[in-house]
Chains A and B, each alone.
Chain A
Amino acid sequence: MSDSHRSPMAAPTSFLWTRRIFLTLLAIFAILPVYVMISSSLKPLNEVQGAFQWLPHHLTLRPYVDIWHTVPLAHYFANSVIVCGSSMLLSVVVAIFAAYAVSRYRFKGKRLFTVTVLSTQMFPGILFLLPLFLIFVNIGNATGIALYGSRGGLILTYLTFSLPFSIWMLAGYFDSIPQDLDEAALVDGCGPLGALFRVVIPAAVPGIVAVAVYAFMTAWGEVLFASVLTNDSTRTLAIGLEGYATQNDVYWNQVMAASLVVSVPVVAGFLLLQRYLVAGLTAGAVK
């Protein structure tokens, strides 16, 4: 992308100053919580319980040790990794096939499919949470397949949350890969699957990675369904962090340390891959 389309004329000082002040304030607003997270996670408990201080008086790493004992954080972490990792993998595989069909074939019902799938994004989560809960409970009663309270149920659910956007993003990506390439592969004797695996997928690796990160982030941050569809042994981080608040006390320093620890994987992934992700996420709005 070219960096500047702005006028060749020098911007007036008033604009430059407005810009400087506005962007500084906005940056402070954006990262203030991160600063609070970091500084408070390095304080002893009595300091986070007293009046707010910008800097810790007694620097300590204690909260980072304690977070693993106060609540079974490692267990929640493992649950989150299993649930989010599995739903990410499955979502990417399912989305690749669907996006390949949407991008490379003309078929009846294509428009209906894309519109329906995308419009599920608009439905209030609460509308299908109640029936989904009932369906899971009843499937469990009828067949013995435990979906309610199990990781499997949550994996299936999260998988569909990222699916519509993933299909859409990937179809856009596949569209940008010249069709001559897969036709050449077909002429060389590959089937459609061969063309998909040998030509389209290798050329779309950045898009696939972006979709994977998106699917992982979506699942990692979800709260509503996790609060209803999990039980004590399958609880994910989204609900597990509530455990640092007891009847009388909130261990704010530990809450902050734990928040930071659970944020690092997704924030790092997002920032590393932001170039691909941003292109994919905004493609729909810009098109």
Chain B
Amino acid sequence: MTVTTPAEDRTARAAKRRSRGPAPGRLRRRALPYLFLLPALILELLIHLIPILTGIAISFKQLTQFYIRDWGSAPWAGLGNYKVAVKFSEPIGQALLHSFWITCGFTVLTVGLSWLLGTAAAIMMQDNFRGRGLLRTFFLVPYALPVYAAVITWSFMFQRDNGLINHLLHQMHLTNGQSFWLIGSNSFPALVTVSVWRTWPFAFLCLTAGLQNIPGELYEAAALDGAGIWQQVRRITLPSLRPVNQVLVLVLFLWTFNDFNTPYVLFGKSAPPAADLISIHIYQSSFITWNFGSGSAMSVLMLLFLMLVTGVYLLATRRKDADV
């Protein structure tokens, strides 16, 4: 690639202006945007696209710890890794399916609750009232805290003997304050709580920005027509937020489904079965057994599922828009 000095560029540009674009200037102008993009392209290729293609290749290989240093020589496995992963009558397939359902439930609950809290908060924060700025800052804290610091704190709060949650539940006479939260079946609600806590502020931010685009006259007209505040929310606010929601729900879904950090920090390296999210599951089955081939096959299946859901979602929401 050739680098042009500003001086050369300047003369080229001057020449171009004089003669209405001679060939070299036009060529350079055409190549220029690609030069600007080049560093970003190289990095994206190196860290994202090549590894993903490699991952797809590995998923067809029998790549165990013996071949880590020279993975090209690992024997091909054909569809073997995929067959094992989806053979739901065998332990490996069964565990994967279980983890998949857990992840689906976790995602639906987290996205749904985060969206509800975010929408309610955004609508209620529309008016200017005393203390609004402070509240807003509080609401942004979960989003700004580094995930591991925040989730470690939650794991302290969920401790059985010295945690805040059991203390609080006991004080409110809801439980005897002796529940385990990070092992057993309670780990699922614990995980959802932490995840909602982390996720809803982003929904709140996006929806707040979306609300600012609704013209005030709409509300004035509705108020003149005698619409109450709840009716205004239902008839004006929610329909106007639909375009924001279309993107927001998709982004929340993808982030939540792929989430690794929250369960990893909350439970440590071994997630309890009730909260065995799919990315943790694949991580464990890859780095504990060092069977990268089967781990990659599972990741590819996960990616295919996400692409399918995204495609269907985009089609479905587009059709709805066309109907209106």
Give the interface size bracket for A toward B. 35 or more
A270 near B9 (CB under 8 angstroms)?
no
Query: Which residue of chain B is the closest to A5 with respect to CB atoms?
Result: B216
Task: Give Cα A156–Cα B44 distance, bound, in whole angstroms.
Answer: 10
How many A-B pairs with Cβ below 8 Å?
319
Known: A52-B164, A134-B54, A270-B144. A120 touches B48 (CB 8 A): yes
Across-interface contacts of A123 in B (CB, < 8 A): 48, 52, 258, 303
Contact B55 A282 (CB under 8 A): no
- In the complex, what distance in Å separates the CA atom of A131 from the CA atom of B282? 13
B interface majority secondary structure:
helix
Contacts A33-B153, A128-B48; A163 near B40 (Cβ below 8 A): yes
Per-residue contact bits, chain B 111-143, to A (CB 8 Å; 1 contact, 0 not):
000000100110011111000000101111111
Q: Mark B264-300, 1 if CB is under 8 A from A, else 0.
A: 1100100000000001001100110000100110011
B269 to chain A, nearest CB (A): 9
Q: Which residue of A lies closest to B153 (CB)?
A: A33
A44 to chain B, nearest CB (A): 13
**Cβ of B72 to closest chain A Cβ, rounded Å:** 9
Q: Is A86 an interface residue (CB 8 A)?
A: no
Task: Judge if B222 is at the interface, Cβ distance under 8 Å.
Answer: yes
Are A122 and B306 within 8 A (Cβ)? yes
Q: In the complex, are the beta carbons of A23 and B135 less than 8 A apart?
A: yes
Residue in A7, A40, A97, A222 with the greatest tally of chain B CB atoms within 10 Å: A7
Q: How far is the CB of A249 from chain B (nearest CB, A)?
A: 12
Q: B149 an interface residue at 8 Å Cβ cutoff?
A: yes
A residues near B (Cβ < 8 Å) are: 1-9, 11-12, 15, 18-19, 22-23, 26-27, 29-34, 36-37, 40, 48-52, 93-95, 97-98, 100-102, 104-105, 107, 110, 113, 116-117, 120-132, 134-135, 137-138, 141, 156-157, 159-160, 163-164, 167, 186, 189-194, 217, 220-224, 227-228, 237-238, 241-242, 252, 255-256, 259-260, 262-263, 266-267, 270-271, 274, 278-279, 281-286
| Known A32-B164, A113-B37, A141-B69; 12 more pairs at CB < 8 Å | A3-B128, A6-B126, A15-B229, A37-B153, A52-B166, A107-B34, A117-B40, A122-B258, A126-B295, A126-B299, A127-B302, A167-B40
A-B contact pairs, 21 of them (CB 8 A): A2-B216, A4-B127, A4-B128, A6-B127, A8-B220, A22-B121, A22-B124, A27-B135, A29-B197, A107-B30, A125-B260, A130-B286, A131-B50, A131-B296, A160-B46, A192-B9, A193-B6, A237-B148, A267-B145, A283-B209, A285-B210
Binding site for A on B (CB under 8 A): 4, 6, 9-10, 12-14, 30, 32-34, 36-37, 39-41, 43-44, 46-52, 54-55, 58, 68-71, 117, 120-121, 124-128, 135, 137-150, 152-154, 156-157, 159, 161-164, 166-167, 197, 201-202, 205-206, 208-216, 219-220, 222-223, 228-230, 232, 244, 247-248, 251, 254, 257-258, 260-261, 264-265, 268, 279, 282-283, 286-287, 292, 295-296, 299-300, 302-303, 306, 310
